[in-house]
Structure 1
Amino acid sequence: MTVLKGEGVSKGVVFGKVRFFHRNSAAVEKRTVTDIEAETKRFEDARAAAVTQLANLYVKTRNELGEENSLLFQIHQMMLEDVDYGNSITDKITNEKVCAEYAVQETSKEFAEMFSQMDDEYMRGRAADVKDVSARVIAILTGKETGGLTGSAPCVLAADDLAPSETAQLDKAQVLAFITAEGSYNAHTAIFARTMGIPAVIGLKDQLASELEGKEVIVDGSTGCVYLDADKATRQAMNEKHQSEEARKRLLSLYRGRPTATKSGHHIDLCANIGNPKDMAAVLENDAEGIGLFRSEFLYLESSDYPTEEEQFQAYKAVAEKMNGKRVVIRTLDIGADKQADYFHLPKEANPAMGMRAIRICLTRPEIFKTQLRALYRASAYGKIAIMFPMITSVEEVQQCKQIAAQVRGELTQEGIPFSSSVELGIMIETPAAAVISDDLAKEVDFFSVGTNDLTQYTLACDRQNQDIARFCNTHHKAILRLIRMSAENAHKAGIWIGICGELGADESLTRTFVDMSIDELSVTPTSILGLRAAISEIE
């Protein structure tokens, strides 16, 4: 028996045969062309087809994996439509009289090299995206598929790593598990695997050799072990573990309809994170006690222009009504960094994760902010809505938000438009600054919600999308837990509630810690709710 050891990033045990993901890396020849106009049109047609493919991928991924996982394909569309990218290709066709696919290939190399040399980790990550979108255009121009799986039987999918577009296009019925040579816990393949409930092991490096093709293996996504030629005792142990996990899934269904409380009766609100009203089916199916984070930016990212007050009102109203009196916390606009909408005309920044984003856009463009707040307050007449401001770093920012909210309430009152008089206003604790001054901030708001994803990133100075530094991004770091505890203590001293809406909220190894901190609410992906409810019920 041989044991391959990697990092488990999605739980589960499966038995299956290995099949490698094969890419058709079409060799691009440098051909001279004489009809420049025709060749340019050929490129533009291929680019348009690629944009259409990505739009379809966005919809498919959003429906299967949720809004947050699908946003990357909008970024890819914007890359294809980037003026500099397009001009570079057409200039090569015109000036060098080369075929479109060669011009795309050379531009891809130049742009990828440019991104890879940048100081900012986020921008360096865009090098892979340029290669991905360029490969799509070249495949269309050459008439060759980009690659995939051969055969139809379900398998353990092996690859060096998978681009987001490759993962999203897979037939999920064919994939029993993912095993990859590269990757990180926060890479798209790992995120997609967790969302789909497919076991995954990454970081196998040179252990993942081509000789494994067709071999029978056992994948344990919780320990990161892949067993080759497993002996009888190991097969029996893994089969028992698999059966135990399946039994646990059936057991979790018994927690539907139960309150979320510890053995001693301490109650915690267990809510859901959503990115679109279409996610409501999963929220209701998994028995969430509310919505702890509704990411409103989907309205802006799905639109070619600023969404109107009426469009926003209808979306917020629909979710509020479906929750039937349960609290719905709606985060105001969080555009910027990796979530871009062309019509905002945001400046290109060397470090966008720390640039013009979220509340900074709202306070510098109050007309956009007021439109959203009007829609939110109008929807509050149809359910229990709370409003949450992201990326807060100072008391002054909160006071400005409250002043604009007061103006909106005054206008609605004058116009005779109904709204609730008890809408809670809260902030996200996702910067170290907010946690450190949480005693002052708590006096200004009705609640806190800790965004652990960004709090981790900013506290540890680690870009969580950067695979190269994944080992330094310790989500359990003492500094992060101290900042959360400090925020919780200051919230309760001021008499307000505090929740956690980042990925750590679903980390069952920290559940007891959060209970000890007296966290009032945990908001997680809908599929994590029943398992977390079961875990909380076992705490003394």
Structure 2
Amino acid sequence: MEIYKGTATFSGIAIGKILYYSRGEYQIRQCLVSNIKKEIQEFHTARLQAVKELEELYEKNRSLNEQEAKFFLGQIRLLESESYQKAIESCISLEKVNAAYAIMTNRDELTETFRNLEEPVVRRRIQDIQEISARLIRILGGSCTRISLGDEPVIVVAESLAPTEIMEMDKQKLLAVVMHHGSAVSHTSIMTKTMEIPALVDIEADDEWDGQTAIVDGYTGTLYLNPDAEIKREYRIRLEADKKEKEELLKLKNQTDETADGKKIGLYANIGNMSDLNNVLFYGAAGIGLLRSEFQYLGRENYPRENELFRAYKQLAETMGDRLTVIRTSDLGADKQASYLDIPEETNPIMGNRGIRLCLDRKRMFKAQLRAIYRASAYGNLAIMYPMVSSEAEMDEIEEIIGEVKEGLKEKEIPFRDIQTSIMIETPAAVMISRELAKRVDFLSIGTNDLTQYTLAMDRQNPLLKNKYDDHHPAILRMIRMVVEAAHAEGKKAGICGEIAADTELTETFLRMGVDFLSVVPACILPVRKALRDTDLSVGEALETERSI
């Protein structure tokens, strides 16, 4: 038996055979071609087949996670772009080489040119190039198009996996995922979390593991390779207990969100698209604490029209009824871009023109979204949240625009409600002026994902920093306390909607800080509900853990 320690990105236990997945490395020979026109035609035939495959994959996966499924649409746009087609055609024509070799050459040149750049947008584009190149080469070689997991459920082990590769796999055959490269906040990890599949990263895999029995412990981040009889017996018991625990958690679906001593806490859901609504209702969330509205802007060729936004928000409002639904205005920029946005290239897009900054630069886009939200407010309990606010000057601009939007709706006699507004606290600057900001809105919501990377000056998706990035850093916890105290001083509520809101080890700490609400992914609703219902705030008021923060 061999034991490997990694990092768990989603909890759970899996026992089964390993399928070692390796992307096909094609040994492509350079062939001189005499019929260039025929070779270019073969490239376009393969390109159209690839587009068809990607369209089918998008339709198949959009109900699971529409935001992640839109990666397929991004790859379609790349295949259909004139610049990509011209690059391949030019290579075939000028060097008189076969299509597969031209595709491989283009891939390798781009990868080498940008391999040292860490910007998320560049990394995403290189990944797209590598994936569509592999797909095209596979089609040109007549290989199988599906990632087959075999007849029995398996634990997939790989050096790395792209979200698109996860989506191509049969979900019923996927017990767990183990990767060498990745992080808890990567898109692939988010996909496995959405699918509720145990996942580990930071485990150096070996292709000789293929076919061997393994145990994945998604609670401790441990992989047992060829476990002995005693460990197998122990984990079969734990697996059964894990299933029973989940069954017990399901009994909490309709329970109230309050501590053992009766303090009520808001427990909301973070969602990225409309397909998550069923899970929000199934797990009994108090409402939606964060709707990432970017899903309506990405994976398309132009800005969504106001009526399109309105229809989506109206459906959201009607479905949620009296439950509060907080719509974050579009947080575009950085790694969330679309070609039609035409955002100038930035040296450091994470620190660039994103969130509310971009909205205030593009007031027409911003007003269209605000009008859609206010129009939909007549059909339910909606609220607005502004991302990346870091100054009162930005709030002055926002309030002026809101005034114009309301006045325009009144003139046209379009019904709307005066809904709640909030700010997402995501920068140290916002923390330091959180009391002033609290005066401007109805509540504050702390976005710990960005707050952590801006406070630590670390890109949370940079693999070189994965062992140094710490969202439990004392500075982050102190900032949370500061924001909560600032909001309460103004008679307002404050909560957390970042990843650590789902960390049940911190639930009691947050509650003792006075956090009023937590917003987590739907799959984490019940574990957090159990943790807060098990907490008794009347006991141990001066906990050492609280003093140390």
TM range (shorter): over 0.9
Structure-2 separation of matches of 1:125 and 1:310 = 31
Q: Which amino acid aligns with 2:349?
A: P
Structure-1 separation of matches of 2:259 and 2:358 = 41
Segments of structure 1 that go 5 or more residues without pairing to the other structure are none
Q: What TM-score do you get using the length of structure 1 for normalisation?
A: 0.94
**CA-atom RMSD, angstroms?**
2.1
Are the equivalent residues in 1 in contact too, given 2:6–2:201 (CA < 8 A)? yes
Paired residue for 2:343? Answer: 346
**Alpha-carbon spacing, 1:119–1:274, altered in 2? closer, same or farther (3 Å):** closer
**Pairing partner for 2:493 from 494, 497, 517:** 497
Paired residue for 2:370? Answer: 373
- CA displacement, residues 368-418 of structure 1 (integer Å, 9 cap, x when unaligned): 111111111111111111111111121111110111001110111111111
Instruction: Point out the more displaced range, 520-529 or 349-358.
Output: 349-358
Are the equivalent residues in 1 in contact too, given 2:438–2:492 (CA < 8 A)? yes
Paired residue for 1:97? Answer: 96
- CA displacement, residues 153-179 of structure 1 (integer Å, 9 cap, x when unaligned): 112222222222222111122222222
Structure-2 separation of matches of 1:446 and 1:295 = 19
**Pairing partner for 1:435 from 425, 431, 436:** 431
The residue correspondences of 1:45-64 to structure 2 (distance < 5 A) are 45-64=45-64
Q: Which amino acid aligns with 2:518?
A: L
Paired residue for 1:13? Answer: 13
Are the equivalent residues in 1 in contact too, given 2:149–2:173 (CA < 8 A)? no
The residue correspondences of 1:469-480 to structure 2 (distance < 5 A) are 469-480=465-476
Instruction: Point out the more displaced range, 457-466 or 284-293.
Output: 457-466
Compute the displacement of 1:188 (Å).
Answer: 3.6
**Alpha-carbon spacing, 1:71–1:466, altered in 2? closer, same or farther (3 Å):** farther
Are the equivalent residues in 2 in contact too, given 1:359–1:392 (CA < 8 A)? yes
Structure-2 separation of matches of 1:462 and 1:125 = 18
Give the secondary structure class of the aligned counterpart of 2:383. strand
Compute the displacement of 1:428 (Å).
Answer: 0.9
Are the equivalent residues in 2 in contact too, given 1:329–1:387 (CA < 8 A)? yes
Paired residue for 1:136? Answer: 135
Are the equivalent residues in 1 in contact too, given 2:67–2:273 (CA < 8 A)? no
Query: Could you list the runs of 4 or more consecutive aligned residues of structure 1 that deviate by over 6 angstroms after TM superposition?
Result: none
Structure-1 separation of matches of 2:147 and 2:516 = 46
The residue correspondences of 1:125-164 to structure 2 (distance < 5 A) are 126-145=125-144, 148-149=147-148, 151-164=150-163
Are the equivalent residues in 1 in contact too, given 2:120–2:334 (CA < 8 A)? no
Give the secondary structure class of the aligned counterpart of 1:347. coil
Instruction: Point out the more displaced range, 3-12 or 70-79.
Output: 70-79
**Pairing partner for 2:454 from 443, 455, 458:** 458
1:246 aligns with 2:239: no
1:355 aligns with 2:352: yes
Paired residue for 2:315? Answer: 318
Compute the displacement of 1:313 (Å).
Answer: 1.0
Paired residue for 2:417? Answer: 420
Structure-1 separation of matches of 2:442 and 2:14 = 46
**Pairing partner for 2:257 from 260, 263, 267:** 260
The residue correspondences of 1:257-406 to structure 2 (distance < 5 A) are 257-406=254-403
Structure-1 separation of matches of 2:526 and 2:87 = 51
Structure-2 separation of matches of 1:42 and 1:232 = 55
Structure-2 separation of matches of 1:394 and 1:145 = 54
**Alpha-carbon spacing, 1:318–1:121, altered in 2? closer, same or farther (3 Å):** closer
**Alpha-carbon spacing, 1:53–1:350, altered in 2? closer, same or farther (3 Å):** farther
Paired residue for 2:164? Answer: 165
Compute the displacement of 1:270 (Å).
Answer: 0.8
Are the equivalent residues in 2 in contact too, given 1:116–1:125 (CA < 8 A)? no
Are the equivalent residues in 2 in contact too, given 1:116–1:123 (CA < 8 A)? no
Compute the displacement of 1:71 (Å).
Answer: 4.1
Segments of structure 2 that go 5 or more residues without pairing to the other structure are 537-549
The residue correspondences of 1:187-226 to structure 2 (distance < 5 A) are 187-205=186-204, 208-226=205-223
**Alpha-carbon spacing, 1:365–1:204, altered in 2? closer, same or farther (3 Å):** closer
Compute the displacement of 1:126 (Å).
Answer: 4.2
Compute the displacement of 1:33 (Å).
Answer: 2.4
Are the equivalent residues in 2 in contact too, given 1:399–1:444 (CA < 8 A)? no
**Alpha-carbon spacing, 1:49–1:488, altered in 2? closer, same or farther (3 Å):** farther
Are the equivalent residues in 2 in contact too, given 1:488–1:518 (CA < 8 A)? yes
Compute the displacement of 1:127 (Å).
Answer: 3.3
Give the secondary structure class of the aligned counterpart of 1:471. coil
Structure-2 separation of matches of 1:121 and 1:375 = 30
Structure-1 separation of matches of 2:144 and 2:347 = 35
Compute the displacement of 1:351 (Å).
Answer: 1.9
% same residue:
43
Compute the displacement of 1:53 (Å).
Answer: 2.9
Paired residue for 1:111? Answer: 110
1:508 aligns with 2:507: no
Are the equivalent residues in 1 in contact too, given 2:68–2:163 (CA < 8 A)? no
**Alpha-carbon spacing, 1:56–1:523, altered in 2? closer, same or farther (3 Å):** farther
**Alpha-carbon spacing, 1:317–1:510, altered in 2? closer, same or farther (3 Å):** same
